[in-house]
Structure 1
Amino acid sequence: MLTDRIEADYLLETTGSPEKAADVMAGEQSSGTFVAIPGETPELKERSAARVVHLTVLEENVPVRSLPSPGARPGEKVTRAKVTLSWPLANLGPSLPNLLATVAGNLFELRQVSGLKLLDIRLPQAFADRYPGPKFGIEGTRRLSGIASGPLIGTIIKPSVGFDAAQTAALVKELCEAGIDFIKDDELQADGPACPFDDRVREVMKVINTHADRTGKKVMYAFNLTGDMDEMRHRHDLVLAQGGTCVMASLNSVGLAGMIELGRMTQLPIHAHRNGWGYLTRHPLLGWSYVAWQKIWRLAGADHMHVNGIANKFSEEDDSVMASALECLTPMFPDKPCTVMPVFSSGQSARQVPATFAGLKSTDLIMTAGGGIMAHPDGPGAGVRSLREAWDATVAGVSLEERARTHPELGRALEMAA
């Protein structure tokens, strides 16, 4: 394990020498600049300069470029390589905001780079010592939800916006009675005048608390508290006071510093929503890989992290989705695993359950089906039951089609998702 250095892996595309491009990357992100400077002595470089510790050429003379560059010629060939850079921890200390400036920073603007993707990062123990990581994670989520084993079956309030607080609570009542484990606000529903946050929390928690008093099961609801820090503190404290068991934040909206502060002060699990992720990753040679990106937010305090879903409604391939989910369950440090619940979403239904379980080989997950539950022909309650039946069958090694012969709600769900 690294003790005093930080490492980052990149997929590099360049029209020139990959070795030269890697040297420029290392210099730009540590002690160097575009010209030699007197103060950059050999002693200083030995102490503070980033190093190119690994470079493997993957493809040569490929007629593709991803980023425009000054003076680029039509049809210019590129080389692609995997590059690993290393920095001394002493350059920045265990600081997540400054880590971003170091491993990403100006690299995407370099003339020598026509494509660049940050694939992974490896951090020394000092980061685990500095940051809280998830306070609840998998174990705490199971404890608060009362779901000791198996997946948490969840949904999103749909329509995403348009309901007032009373209408939202009425739908929550129906879902609670159907046996749902987890409900979340849509990321578009925050604190608008049509459905104020405070009103929504009070109305929804009346329903959830009444249901818990009657049945002993307290449904976990992730209220979207995204806002500035004062707003998030107030919203968190209200959810806690009303007996809520989860809050949600949009990572790209609150930013890293906002998430760090929320992680430090929260007394509830943080459901971390990744909306906006597409602009960071969709191009295969630009931006971030989820493997690297999610490590930042886990250290900052996320307890659940969205990973998209199998056969999703967006553009992400199944292999990428599953790699993201598996990474959420992979420990980051020997004494501080920082493992979190992967959240499968985006066009999910009973149909995706077998492939999800086959890839993850675990039931430590939250599966949120919006349309898959809300649009079930027999109503949301039947949607919840169909998803649970699909998981029960899959874990038991029974095909969905076989289980559907004796469980019509599952059969209707499979017809709808065909």
Structure 2
Amino acid sequence: MAQINAVYYVSESNDFIEEKAEKMASGLTAKPWQEMPESEKQESLAYKGRVLSITEDDTYGNGYFVTISFPVAYEVPDFPSILTTTYGRLSYEPNVKLIDLQFSNDLISLFPGPKYGIAGIRELVEVKNRPLAMSVAKGAIGRSIDSFHEQMLAHCYGGIDIIQDDERLFEHDWTPLEQRVPVGLAAIAEAAEKTGRTPLYVVNVTGKTFELKERAKEAIGLGAPALLLNVFAYGIDVLQGLSEDPEIDVPIFAHSSLAGMMTRSKQHGISSRLLLGKLMRMAGADAVLFPSPYGRIGINAEEARHVKEQLLQPAEMNSTFPIPSAGIDFNTIANVKKDFGQDVIINLGGSVHRYSGGVEAGGKALIETISKA
């Protein structure tokens, strides 16, 4: 039977930690076995969580790392089942944080991971030996489709490798999907005649959950070369569903908006390394935007390093591009390269838009700074 080992941090100085750990293990799985007739207990006990270890540690204050092993009683696992099993009831506990999920090989092999990953995205943008430069079409919200075309042109002439829709660019009359994608691609083609380069346009796909696959396929039918998904507004399972659909054959960029409600607390929720790192890669994200350690809303440097490791470490599945975002400007690019290496997408939205010479000049300055840092 496949296994998941869940690692928690229990931030309590508690003389009864062994009892608490046992309640965590049984409460998440086969708790009713305690009241069952003896003849039925053994069958239920086979699916009960088992405490593997309890280690005192002061990483998040005063507390313990508790590791519990859960048997997986289904052949094709899904993230809703996994997260309900390992953190469902515990999510109401104020002093328990889910740090990691360790999957047995037979289980993790059922998740194909990213279709493109780092190597595939590099091939699309034809850049091999430096971090990629990305900017966001921030000025498109509330403005006309003509303005969007001008902004796309400026990004292209600036030499940006990846141009992403703002994650808040939803379906509105001024830039609807059926106009935005062709106009964006037309700007890229127009600029390519002079620059010889074709940046990757990442199209934000939004709408009601059960319509999202059709929206994604509509965007691809219009020519969208990559998609952006606000994963935590929909759920990790939606990301996996899009990634594994053979008709959705473009890279998927996963945005971490809303994840803060699960990751920010030291004593509660789910760690960034798990939620924004390991699970995003398993679900098929080709690139992941997450709060950088350089800004006021960012995660700390150690946790950012763990996210990077989960996205990049050798595995059977493709690696995922880390995109530390927010708080990055021209002065922090050197730090990004030092902390993340070559395999990172450096995302400057506001700094490119605010650049004294405009977006085109800002894009050129971004490429130059990345090359020199």
TM-score by length of 2: 0.91
Out of 235-244 and 385-394, give the one that drifted further: 235-244
Q: Output aligned runs, 1:13-28, within 5 Å.
A: 13-14=11-12, 17-28=16-27
Check whether the contact 1:198–1:235 (CA below 8 A) recurs between aligned residues: no
SS of aligned partner of 2:219: helix
Check whether the contact 2:312–2:319 (CA below 8 A) recurs between aligned residues: yes
How far apart are the structure 1 equivalents of 2:42 and 2:71? 14
Match of 2:302 in 1: 319
CA pair 393-40 structure 1, distance change in 2 beyond 3 A: farther
1:267 counterpart (237, 249, 258): 249
CA pair 40-229 structure 1, distance change in 2 beyond 3 A: farther
Give the AA of the match of 1:225.
Answer: V
Match of 2:77 in 1: 94
Match of 2:264 in 1: 282
How far apart are the structure 1 equivalents of 2:50 and 2:290? 32
Check whether the contact 1:157–1:183 (CA below 8 A) recurs between aligned residues: yes
**Residues 1:155 and 2:153 aligned together:** no
CA pair 94-237 structure 1, distance change in 2 beyond 3 A: closer
CA pair 132-40 structure 1, distance change in 2 beyond 3 A: farther
CA pair 377-81 structure 1, distance change in 2 beyond 3 A: same
Check whether the contact 1:165–1:200 (CA below 8 A) recurs between aligned residues: yes
Match of 1:29 in 2: 28
**Residues 1:44 and 2:36 aligned together:** no
Cα shift at 1:350: 1.6
1:390 counterpart (363, 369, 372): 369
CA pair 33-352 structure 1, distance change in 2 beyond 3 A: farther
Query: With CA pairs under 8 Å and 6+ residues apart, which has the higher RCO, 1 or 2?
Result: 2
Match of 1:381 in 2: 360
Match of 2:197 in 1: 217
CA pair 244-92 structure 1, distance change in 2 beyond 3 A: closer
Structure 2: runs of 5+ lacking an equivalent: none
Out of 121-130 and 167-176, give the one that drifted further: 121-130
CA pair 160-252 structure 1, distance change in 2 beyond 3 A: farther
Cα shift at 1:327: 2.2
Match of 1:357 in 2: 337
Match of 2:273 in 1: 291
How far apart are the structure 1 equivalents of 2:170 and 2:23? 43
Q: Output aligned runs, 1:217-236, within 5 Å.
A: 217-228=197-208, 231-236=211-216
Cα shift at 1:42: 5.2
**Residues 1:10 and 2:8 aligned together:** yes
CA pair 160-380 structure 1, distance change in 2 beyond 3 A: same
Match of 2:225 in 1: 245
How far apart are the structure 1 equivalents of 2:235 and 2:94? 27
Check whether the contact 2:7–2:66 (CA below 8 A) recurs between aligned residues: yes
How far apart are the structure 2 equivalents of 1:210 and 1:242? 17
How far apart are the structure 2 equivalents of 1:389 and 1:213? 22
Aligned-residue identity in percent = 25
Check whether the contact 1:160–1:188 (CA below 8 A) recurs between aligned residues: no
1:143 counterpart (112, 120, 123): 123
Q: Which has the larger radius of gyration?
A: 1
CA pair 189-16 structure 1, distance change in 2 beyond 3 A: farther
**Residues 1:125 and 2:105 aligned together:** yes
Name the Cα RMSD after superposition.
2.4
Check whether the contact 2:116–2:318 (CA below 8 A) recurs between aligned residues: no
How far apart are the structure 1 equivalents of 2:343 and 2:176? 33
Cα shift at 1:184: 0.7
Cα shift at 1:375: 0.3
Check whether the contact 1:225–1:247 (CA below 8 A) recurs between aligned residues: yes
Cα shift at 1:85: 0.6
Give the AA of the match of 1:274.
Answer: S
CA pair 160-20 structure 1, distance change in 2 beyond 3 A: farther
Out of 321-330 and 169-178, give the one that drifted further: 321-330
Give the AA of the match of 2:264.
Answer: R
How far apart are the structure 1 equivalents of 2:312 and 2:287? 11
**Residues 1:81 and 2:64 aligned together:** yes
TM-score by length of 1: 0.82
Could you report, residue by residue, the CA deviation over 1:20-55 in whole angstroms, capped at 9, with x for unpaired residues?
Answer: 111001001111149633368552355211110010
Aligned length: 368
Match of 2:156 in 1: 176
How far apart are the structure 1 equivalents of 2:90 and 2:140? 37
Check whether the contact 1:227–1:254 (CA below 8 A) recurs between aligned residues: no
Cα shift at 1:10: 0.4
Cα shift at 1:201: 0.9
Cα shift at 1:5: 1.3
Check whether the contact 2:292–2:325 (CA below 8 A) recurs between aligned residues: yes
Could you report, residue by residue, the CA deviation over 1:94-141 in whole angstroms, capped at 9, with x for unpaired residues?
Answer: 3322111111111122xxx44111111111233343233100000110
Could you report, residue by residue, the CA deviation over 1:347-376 in whole angstroms, capped at 9, with x for unpaired residues?
Answer: 31121112112222x211111111111101
How far apart are the structure 2 equivalents of 1:196 and 1:306? 24
Structure 1: runs of 5+ lacking an equivalent: 65-78, 395-418
Could you report, residue by residue, the CA deviation over 1:218-262 in whole angstroms, capped at 9, with x for unpaired residues?
Answer: 111111002235643343334333433211000011223322221
Cα shift at 1:92: 7.0
CA pair 155-21 structure 1, distance change in 2 beyond 3 A: same
Check whether the contact 1:307–1:345 (CA below 8 A) recurs between aligned residues: yes
